[in-house]
Structure 1
């Protein structure tokens, strides 16, 4: 029973090593990494089998479970030649004897065989691969154990160890490999479905956003075809038609900005001047919602970026903030600057968001406005800020409001120039 106990202990170590390899695979992010993990496992298992060899006293015979990793690695990964070379090299350290020459013949032949049939083997179904692996293990175990039956050894130990434990080990490891493969395939399938779902949501969002202004535009085009309408009505309809087409154009621009957020035009931006222009353009909307806008600027702040995209980003943020206060409120816009960073704070006293909504903010096509929103605007905000090497931090509380904090790298040259201008202004006033 000594050989049986030895083999069972060795097999348990191989299974424990397989368990840790499976945990490693779960964290892998690419198929290439998974292939590397599988190769490391097979080589480590082969070396582990050599560590726990069992030498028969009075015979040049070394018994171990090296065929288990050899068969698995040769069939599943196509590592037959590599594993055969490693087996022969390690076996040479135990002595150049009859067993060594038999190892060269036996594993060299198997290496060539497995290398040739591995592509065919991988095309089989999962059950057939497991069955084939176990059958191969049983066949070669029988061939290897048959001469040992004539040696001065416990016959039950030999036959049970080779004809049961080794095929069992191959079957167990092959089964786990198949399950890991199914898990990987399922993960890739889920990722593919999520991508398709994102594309579907994107298409639905764009269609929804464009359909509304185009439907209105078509209606006014039909009204303009009526020759009996007055000149004043015609001018009014053309103005509305132009605004609706601009809305459709803005949706397309938002999508293009999200899909290609690179900043193509880099120019110096005096932040408080840019923000003031944005606030002026939204003043009508703020008055309509009874929103009072408070500003507190640091007049020394400057960054580098695209003025048009900067406006697009903060128009979206401030417009959302104003719309979050339909019954009135306060919108606060502040800036703080240092020699390294420019911080912009946009805070409202609106409805606020739940923790779940806050965590999902910025996800593709997720909107806190329900069916009325598409989430495209906030996606554009995140894309632009990241393209300008900025960061976003959001805090929100239901019934209290939401606070956006944007941090951008300062432009050192512009910061120094603004400091000089500020100091000169102070000196002139003092004089």
Structure 2
């Protein structure tokens, strides 16, 4: 089976899935396999559930009469099919990457653009070599534009994802200390994320630039096709304000109050508002999108529980985002406690970076500081250091946190949200 032959079948499908548990009538099921699993064993079952076709990479599961087709690699076939589908699309595709804030920015951009257009966008955190093809293949004829998030933890990954998506617009939220082990340090991060710029330059597409970010300014300064925000000389300029711990923006004397916390989210709001204005969306509609967007994905999510205000930022963490979160949280009114989990994938600088965060936390105005994880335990030896969430949950059963404000921040692998039920 090749993509050109299969493409007409794809066009009649409702959706593409790689999860046998989510197969529904008229779907296409890609049966991935690994060391400990082989989804091809569910091929016939998927057809019985109504799947339009199944793609497998083991000959013994092929049943052409039942539309179960063989390819040498389900991953490569998925990517090639997505690339072919992208070549047929005429709508603008906006891609974004960066060390921090990708998903939140993507969600706000979608909220803003959806005020006027039918927009498809990356669902959840499906931003890798599998997620991006799935996003592209989810774009239907009714969609007028798409927003594609791209994540990476090593060199050449953004290059590959851009080659698949061929974005017309691209934005890098920032360059920070994320995935240092895979990228080979901060310089590696900058080089890896900048692959998006190189793709846009080469294909003469448009770059969205935060002109207040020196690196973004430097790397795009000589390129003409760009939209800028962040400084008074930019194409679009917004003033920042904060109210009740929430950040907002003001444009030409009119303000929009978000339900996001943190100065870092001001830039995310600006990026979304800039794209909205560029695509001709009235600022009154942009205000509505910003004010009604409520984070629910454990990224800057605020939850009230028994009179306490909990800031949940437990989906990801790196030294850059952790430092910004602590500084922002320290400005909250009232007493404050932080629960911070290990920052993963830091390689040789892990101890150094965890020590720096502990030092920063100790310098700020926090009533209590709890650390969770082996990395923090190496540099924070004491009664408020725990190896995992289970240990900390046991502690919370007998010890209440007195502070009104509580921040939970850590890498996904620490799963800090598991302690929520034990915070009274």
TM-score class, shorter-chain normalisation, is under 0.3
Give TM-score scaled by structure 2 length: 0.21
Rg bigger for which structure? Answer: 1
Report the TM-score when normalising by structure 1. Answer: 0.20
Higher helix share: 1
